[in-house]
Amino acid sequence: MSNDILLEVKNLKVEFQVRRGIVRALDGVNFSIRRGQTMGIIGESGSGKSVTARAIMQLLAKNGNIADGEIIFHQPSHNESGQSKSINLTQLDPDGDAVRSLRGGEIAMIFQEPMSSLTPVYTTGTHIGEAVQLHLKPYRKVANQMGNSIRKQHNVSKKEARDIAIELLDRVGIPRAHEQVDSYPHQLSGGQRQRVMIAVALSCNPSLLIADEPTTALDVTTQAQINDLMLEIQEEYNMAIMYITHDLGVIAEVAKDVAVMYMGRIVETGDIDSLFYSAKHPYTNALLASIPRIGQVRGRRLEAIKGMVPDPFNVPSGCAFRNRCYDYMEGICDKSIPALQPINDNQSSACFLHHRVSQSS
Ligand SMILES: Nc1ncnc2c1ncn2[C@@H]1O[C@H](COP(=O)(O)OP(=O)(O)OP(=O)(O)O)[C@@H](O)[C@H]1O
Ligand SMILES: [Mg+2]
């Protein structure tokens, strides 16, 4: 394992128990995230992006469970030894102390719906202050400004937590932070709420930030500002970001590495340039064909991906994309599931066009 890997997801399978039976939401997900880098996760609605994020956070709904696989977090060292500690998150009790201290501390998440993750009766200051007090690993810059006294005491007073909240609100571009610290979520605009979410997530200086469609509900200008802000902070604090979206344009702006999801599996991974200029998997190519490009002949119709995402209770045998694929090979694609395999230095693909390795179940 290379030293710059922060998180490895290996053969992750997640199932949900529903009335009709079992939904296999993730069916062998494999990818890794490098320290300080952005991994973009892209795929159509229902492909399993949020479930992947929630599995990493150990925040699956009550009817869901991890049926197989590993999520290895290579926890960075916070002492002089420089040795990182590797933890398999799937082995931890989802309600236990170890998970709670990692969640919000080392790994923070910005959820798809900011309104539902901010408590309406708490002020912004309380949201951030609580996170800081809970994890006792304050925002590095503020801690340094305060002469390290906070970190030494490992105890943050209410007043200090409020000061940190103001500093953070200011950092994420909330105007008049010293006043807004006392605002309630409904008094803020959508963009401001998303900035508060980022401030809460950053309050503990996480080494991994999971951002699940963090800008979907915002206008294009605010989207760009929020994304720039995340990248700026990423650089400052060497934070890795797992950025989930179904917007390829956003991915091109923010990510270095990309994983493409379809029906609970990663079908292609690679660096952003390889993905945009020489995508390998037919699903990735179909996604790319469905977005407008500069230079494209005006009036030309964008190609929609033919067919529909299969019903989770009626997934075709073999490759789950085969009934929508222009390169379908009878007798091959319907017989077994293609494994995700490296096909050059930068890319991996789960397609029998590129190799003949099947996924073991
Ligand atoms: N609590 C649950 N119970 C049953 N099925 C679930 C549950 N949560 C998710 N699923 C199923 O898991 C699959 C993946 O869902 P997920 O929310 O990860 O999709 P997504 O890729 O995030 O989509 P979107 O782009 O719409 O947010 C879907 O088929 C969904 O119906
Ligand atoms: Mg989602």
Q: What is the pLDDT of residues 170-184, one digit of tens each?
A: 888 899 999 999 999
Q: Residue 72: inside a domain, yes or no?
A: yes
Query: Looking at the domain assignment, is residue 241 inside a domain?
Result: yes
Last residue of a domain, one of 171, 205, 239: 205
Closest-lying ligand 1 atom to the alpha carbon of residue 48: 18
Q: How far apart are CA 361 and CA 353, in angstroms?
A: 20
- Per the model's pLDDT, the better-predicted residue between 242 and 237 turns out to be 242
**287 and 150 in a common domain:** no
- Structure token pair of residue 258: 């990309």
What's the pLDDT tens digit per position in 2-48? 579 999 999 999 999 999 899 999 999 999 999 999 999 999 889 99
Residue whose CA is at the smallest distance from ligand 1 atom 25: 45
CA distance 76 to 217: 33
CATH of the domain at 262: 3.40.50.300
Q: 349 falls in which pLDDT band (50, 70, 90)?
A: very high
Residue 34 maps to a domain: yes
Domain assignment present for 331 = no
Cα-based angle 109, 111, 114 (whole degrees, multiple of 5): 125
Ligand 2 centroid – CA 49 distance (Å): 5
> Cα torsion for 153, 154, 160, 165, to the nearest 10°?
150
**Is residue 94 located within the same domain as residue 132?**
no
Pocket test for ligand 1, best of 26, 41, 50 (most atoms within 8 A of CB): 50
Parent domain of 191 = 118-205
Instruction: Give the mutation target among 9, 12, 15, 16 for probing the ligand 1 site: most ligand atoms within 8 A of CB.
Output: 16
Same domain flag for 27 and 145 = no
State the residue for tokens 């990510």.
255
In a domain, residue 349? The reply is no
Least confident among 4-18, 23-37, 294-308, 335-349: 294-308
Residue 335 is assigned to a structural domain of this protein: no
pLDDT level of residue 150 (50, 70, 90 thresholds): very low
- Do 33 and 182 share a domain, yes or no? no
Range in 40-49, 78-87, 240-249 with the lowest mean pLDDT? 78-87
What pLDDT score was predicted for residue 161?
85
Q: Are residues 164 and 232 in the same domain?
A: no
Ligand 1 atom closest to Cα of residue 54: 18
Residues 286 and 174 in one domain: no
Query: Based on the domain organization, do 134 and 177 belong to the same domain?
Result: yes
Residue with CA nearest ligand 1 atom 4: 16
Q: Which residues of 296-330 are buried (b: 16+ CB within 10 A; e: fewer)?
A: eeeeeeeeebeeebbebeebeebbbbbbbbeebee
In a domain, 263, yes or no: yes
215 and 274 inside one domain: yes
In this structure, which ligand is nearest to the CA of 61?
1
The answer to whether residue 321 sits within a structural domain is no
Residue minimizing CA distance to atom 28 of ligand 1? 46
Which residue bears the tokens 């320290």? 35
Instruction: Say whether both 268 and 123 belong to one domain.
Output: no
Q: Among 30-44, 58-72, 222-236, 260-274, which is the least confidently predicted range?
A: 222-236
- Among the candidates 155, 174, 205, a domain finishes at 205
102 and 184 housed in the same domain? no
Question: Ligand 1 centroid to 46 CA: how many Å?
Answer: 5
Kindly state whether residues 98 and 222 are assigned to the same domain: yes
- Whether residues 4 and 145 fall in one domain: no
Query: Is residue 154 scored above 80 in pLDDT?
Result: no
End residue of a domain, out of 205, 225, 244:
205
Structurally, how many domains does the chain consist of? 2
- 354: nearest Cα among 288, 306, 29, 340: 340
CA of 45 to the centre of ligand 1 (A): 8
